[in-house]
Each structure stands twice: as C-alpha cells, then as structure tokens.
Structure 1
C-alpha cells in the first residue's frame, strides 16, 4: 500500500482504469477530505456533503474504465462535486420558498406592479405543480389547458369517456388550486385556472 502513496495521479488513474482497487483506495485517501471540505463549504450540511462525496467516489470506481490516460483526477473530482452541489442546491430550492417569495412580493407591491410579474416565473411555478400530478391526470390536464382541447376531443384522442376526462380535469384543479393558493399565488390561479 505504501508504494501507491508514491505514485502520481496519472499513474494511479492508469491502474484504476484496469480495476486496481488499491489505486482507487489511494485516490480516495488522497482526495476525500479535500473534496468533503469543498462540498461542505458550499452546502453547509455535513451529512449531505458526506453523501455527495461518497456518490462521487462510487461513480469514479464504477466508471473507472471510461477514464482516459490524460484524465486529471483532481479536476474530474472537483467538476463532479461542483455539478452535484449545483443539482442539490436546485433541489433544495423548495417550492414553498419560491412561492413565499412571490407571495411576499405580491403583498408588498401594488396591484399594478403585480401585473408586471414575470410571466415565465409564474408559468414555471404552475408548471412545477402540474408535473407533480399523476401521469394520466397530468396528460389530460395539459391537453385541456395547454392545447385547449375539449373534453370530447381529449376523450377521443386517449380513448376514454367524456366523463372520465371531465373528472380528471376537475380532480387536477382540486389538487392544484389549494397548493398554489396556499403557496401565495392566488392571483396566478385566477389567471390560469379560470
């Protein structure tokens, strides 16, 4: 094992590509604490930082055969960590926080200003909630609201009864309205779900 400590990163990568577990262990030992500190600095959560770094090293081991001879292992690990941190941060941007920001803005500003809310942000908020609907309900709802198809047209297209389509749209509205209203986007609901 001590012989591996004296190897350079490119030498370790070369051994790792052939499935050398000792080379992987040396890379792990060499970079784990640095990568953990890097991830923790960005996400400020010890457990999530540990999990994130474990995933990166697991992926490195599982995909080691895909590495090239000129792979810079430290660059590879830093890039992987940065990308996973960004993904994690976007997941943490919870809907609740997003909707609270819109609600705060709406209560602080005049009705005239509310009209100037960026339409795409509003649409994105509504779209996120639509994507959480059950698949068949979402499909029917999108055909109704986005493609402006009648219940009859949707029923024919999906080989369903008119009544089933009507019920699915009603159920979707029952789910969506409270979620969006509770999150402070009541104005958006009136515009989108009239």
Structure 2
C-alpha cells in the first residue's frame, strides 16, 4: 500500500489502528506548516520544536481515543492551544517576577515610609524621569497603562524579550530610586 497517496482520513484510520508508518507520514506532511505557524506566534526555534513534539506525542498517545474529522484543522487547533498555554505560562511567570520585584522594592523601602499616596506617586514619577526614555515609555505602557508585552513589542517594534528587558530594568531603577528617596527623607 502506498502511504504517500493516502488521504488524511485514511491516515487517521491507520493511525487509530496503531500504524507507526501512518504517524510518520502525518508528521512529514504537516511538520513544516506547523513549525511556521508556531514560530510566527512565539519566535523561538526551541519553543517551536517543543510544541510540535508535544502535539505529535499527544496525537500518538491519544490515537485510539481521538475522533479526528479534519486532520489539518485538528493539528493546527492543537498547536494553537499549546502556543496559548505556553504564552500564558510565560505571562504568569513574568507577572510573578514583576510582583516579586515590586514586593522587594516595598520591603526595602517600606510602605510606612511614605506619608501619603501622593508622595509615593511623586517618588515613582521622579524615578521614571531618571530612566532612559525607551525604558520609561515601556514602564508606563506596562505598569501604568496595563498593556501586555506582545502589544508593547508590536507598538515599539521590539521583540518580546527586549520589552521584558526594559521592564526588568525599569523595576531595578525604581527599586534603587525609591531606596534613594527613603534615605533623602
């Protein structure tokens, strides 16, 4: 039987019957398209490879239970879901790190050191004025305007990693300047 000429539906039927050759052909037929799709979303070779590996592993492990009507659609929806999961975990990690940085700032300075909220806002604004222009802009977009990293990256024509670098840099500057503010009083 020539597998190359089989339709997706036939390959899915063979896959459900534990045929490893059908699985290999599905992989060969779709990996480039999936790689391009995932890379466009994440921009990382390693992340693409991991997501495609996880997707194909899931396809193989769930072959007997799956009810695939349209193989291409099934694979791309699965890839999209894994990309979303990856982005969500990165966002949660980034938010945790930002929380940790801000928490460190307030542990060092202590919220009781500020006589009122206006004084705190003024101290933050003074710290932002001492940041490099791009870092300050990204800080404002992220922390004051609550914009997501991906949106900032698109708007500023930067990579997500560059935006995250500027956010981290701004939080370090903020911590340093608020410590200076505390010692000035």
Give the shorter-chain TM-score range.
Answer: 0.5 to 0.7
Q: Distance in 1 between matches of 2:101 and 2:77?
A: 32
Structure 1 match to 2:53: 54
Equivalent residue, structure 1, for 2:78: 80
**Alignment correspondent of 2:30:** 31
Q: Which runs of 5+ in 1 are unaligned?
A: 110-116, 122-180, 186-194
Specify whether residues 81 and 32 from structure 1 end up closer, same or farther in structure 2 by C-alpha distance, changes over 3 A only: same
Cα distance in 2 for partners of 1:62, 1:99 equals 39
* 3-state SS, counterpart of residue 6 of structure 2: coil
Q: Which runs of 5+ in 2 are unaligned?
A: 106-120, 127-142, 147-170, 176-185
1:68-87 deviations in Å (ceiling 9; x for gaps): 2x521111111111111111
Secondary structure at 2:64 match in 1: helix
Deviation at 1:100, TM superposition (A): 6.8
- In the alignment, what sits opposite 1:89? 87
Is the alpha carbon distance of 1:35 and 1:98 closer, same or farther for their aligned partners in structure 2, counting shifts above 3 Å? farther
Is the contact between residue 28 and residue 57 of structure 1 (CA under 8 Å) also seen in structure 2?
Answer: yes
1:90 Cα deviation after fit: 1.1
**Residue 30 of structure 1, CA deviation:** 0.2
Q: Could you tell me how far 1:91 is from its partner in structure 2? A: 1.1
Gap change, CA 1:101 and 1:4, over 3 Å in 2:
farther
Structure 2 CA distance for partners of 1:108 and 1:66, relative to 1, 3 Å: farther
- 1:101 is displaced (CA, Å) by 9.2
Matched residues, number:
113
Structure 1 residues 46 and 25: CA distance shift in structure 2, 3 A: same
Compute the TM-score of the two structures, normalised by the length of structure 2. Answer: 0.52
TM-score normalised by L of structure 1: 0.50
**1:96: Cα distance to partner?**
2.3
